Amino acid sequence: MTFSTLIIALLVLTISTYFVLNMLKNSKPKPVQYSNDEYIYPLGGGKKTRNSLYSVVCEDGFYNYDVWQDAKLFLFKENRLVYQINFRQVDEYTISDDGIVVCCASDATNELGGQMIIITTDGKKIFDKKVSANLVCCDISKDSEIAIFETASSETDDGDCIYIIDVKSRTVVSKFEKPAQIRRISKIDTVLNVLSFKGEDRILYHFDFRGNELPNV
């Protein structure tokens, strides 16, 4: 190998290493500082309220003896930590405008199942319901009146369903079979009592809060 060939090979190796390291760096969540010397690495980048008063972030857990554990959910108000709640695993989460958090938690085992959880701004779980199906989606109306949870396929009656929760009364308003997997929730209208979402089949669906499908609204 000539000297010039060696130089070219080293240059190619250096450039390749730079791009690989840069990709790895960008693939990691950006840390959020919540005390003088502690940081969290939020799963999914976190969610903020429209007025930016509250934000919720979740730090992913890790495997320990083949069991996923130690996921952490944090609520911030004006960039100050309000609470931290530990779970084994958090699959999805979001927040209303006044800081009410809904999340899909699970035991991180091989068995199907999950927990539908609603948390107030002081860290109190006001709704915590276990189901025998994995949870894949959750949302809450901007005014914190109605929460939505979606389950995946299961051999039990809990599978392939949409749950509508009245947050104030902490009760299940309705549970009905979904026509398609939710791709995106478009609207939770607490005035007209209508849930609108686009399915994975690209169809826009409308349901009232009792689970009755509606024509286009």
pLDDT above 80: residue 107? no
pLDDT above 60: residue 158? yes
CA distance 159 to 99: 29
All structural domains of the chain with their residue ranges: 1-30, 37-208
State the average pLDDT over residues 45-66.
77
Name beta bridge partners: 115: 105, 130
Q: What is the DSSP letter of 15?
A: H
Residue 175 is predicted with a pLDDT of: 97
Burial (CB count within 10 angstroms: exposed 0-12, middle 13-18, buried 19+), residue 114: buried
pLDDT above 90: residue 38? no
Residues 71-84 pLDDT 10s: 889 999 988 889 99
106 in Cβ contact with 117 (< 8 Å): no
Residues 184-201 pLDDT 10s: 999 999 999 999 999 999
Q: How many residues does the chain have?
A: 217
Global pTM value: 0.77
CA distance 123 to 100: 9
CATH number of the structural domain 37-208: 2.130.10.10
